Amino acid sequence: MKNMEVSAGRGLIARRDLLRSIGAVGGSAVGAIGASFLLNRSIPGGVSMSGENLISAKAAVDHLILGASDLDQAIAWFEKTAGVKPVIGGVHPGRGTRNALVSLGGRQYLEILAPDPAQQVASLPYGLKSLTTPRLINWAAVTNDINLIAERSRSGGLSVTSPRDGSRARPDGRMLKWKSLDVVSRSGDEHAVLIPFFIQWAADSLHPSQDSPKGCELKSFEMEHPDPASVIETLKKLGVEAKVKQAGESKLVATLRTPKGKVELV
């Protein structure tokens, strides 16, 4: 079957509220930008504030999550593939995972997530131990007002968790802190990998993109799913516009510009 590509239309979150909450407006934009600024200007490579335009999925990315069964092997694989060596980020206490990071330009980054051998937990997320090759398993969208996102998601008929605190210990002992919010569709969680969770970083936490190895840039971010319209509709309610192609299974597809040329992560 020939791939069918569809894009989201008008969102249900009010434009004014969305601009208050979404902090990333494009790969070239750095930092949280106030709503009054965005309402009066267009950001090159980001979101035009004319009409009822939505935030593109690429612009909304805080970080992409690449799952792996072994962190050291995944670091070596990425370095060989992209020409940039990810740096160890730290561990997630109580979750059984640790990670490595690479900046994707601006305030965006790639997180390689794998089991932490030093932690004993009952279960690991995303079936990490069973992965035979690194693959994209989830993504996070940035926000500066996570409570607003929760409110507007519920108003749009979506089921969301309450914002919860998260943390990670850096190798230097400093703690990174954030709040996150999970969003699922009313029809179940079959699209969970395509529907982002939202993250709001603590004001005193350095964004991981700022001190992670540089040299890679996120050039495109698309999705695949057996029922593209259902994914698009859910993302639209979150104020996010995405390109979703019809395919046999759910996939996230990110294209990076790297020192070794174009690299596609799926």
Render pLDDT for 207-227 as a digit per residue (tens, 0 to 9).
999 999 999 999 999 999 999
In whole angstroms, give the CA distance from residue 181 to residue 200.
Answer: 9
The fraction of the chain above a pLDDT of 70, given in percent, is 77
What pLDDT score does 209 carry? 97
CA 21 from centre of chain:
15
Q: What region, left, alpha or beta, does residue 103 occupy, with left being phi > 0 and alpha being psi -120 to 50 degrees? A: beta
Average of per-residue pLDDT values in the chain: 81
Which helix (H) or strand (E) segment holds residue 260: the answer is: none
Distances (CA, A) of 150 to 41, 65, 185: 27, 22, 13
Q: How confident is the model at residue 167 (pLDDT cuts 50, 70, 90)?
A: confident
**pLDDT beyond 60 at 245:** yes
172 confidence band (pLDDT: 50, 70, 90): confident
24 with 60: CB under 8 angstroms?
yes
Per-residue pLDDT, 185: 55
8 Å CB contact between 109 and 100: no
| pLDDT given for residue 168 in this prediction | 82
Three-class DSSP category at 150 = helix
Structure token pair of residue 242: 């995405």
200 near 145, Cβ under 8 Å? yes
pLDDT recorded at residue 171:
82
Please name the residues in contact with 226: beta carbons below 8 A apart, sequence gap of 6 or more. Answer: 246, 247, 248, 249, 250
How does pLDDT run across 18-68, given as a tens digit for each residue?
A: 444 444 333 333 233 233 222 222 222 222 222 356 899 999 999 999 999
- Angle, alpha carbons 231-236-242 (nearest 5°): 65
pLDDT in the model for residue 160:
92
The domains located in the chain, with CATH, are 5-265 (3.10.180.10)
Enter the pTM of the model.
0.80
Residue 174 Cα distances to 25, 165, 171, angstroms: 28, 16, 7
Would you say 133 and 114 are in contact if contact means Cβ atoms under 8 Å apart? no
